[in-house]
Amino acid sequence: MSIRTYAIINASDVSNVNFDQVLETSADTLRYSLDNSLTFIKWDITISQTWPGFIANGSVSPVQTCTNKQMRAILQTEAWTADLDLGE
């Protein structure tokens, strides 16, 4: 069994992410906050891996870690999603 875990990180830390250890494939596949200061990564916690190595060794320090449900709620905030005025 595995548990999907999310970490919000500073965009400036993306160069320290080892994409072989997370579910995203490259910096180009990351979603960024509207101000481009934050992004997030995700991985599955298993018996053999709790944290990606780059987090475990301190190369990247998450701003926040969260569950899938928590991450979905965060992505709906104005920091991550533009309020589109559709003229209604």
Q: How confident is the model at residue 87 (pLDDT cuts 50, 70, 90)?
A: low
Q: Summarize pLDDT for 4-51 with one digit per residue, the tens.
A: 999 999 999 999 999 999 999 999 999 999 999 999 999 999 887 799
Say what the pTM is.
Answer: 0.89
State in words which class domain 3-75 has: alpha beta
CA distance 71 to 64: 10
| SS3 annotation, 38-76 | EEEEEEEECCCCCCCHHHHCCCCCCCEEECHHHHHHHHC
**Structural contact between residues 27 and 14, judged by C-beta atoms closer than 8 angstroms:** yes
- Note the pLDDT of residue 46: 85
Domain ranges of the chain: 3-75
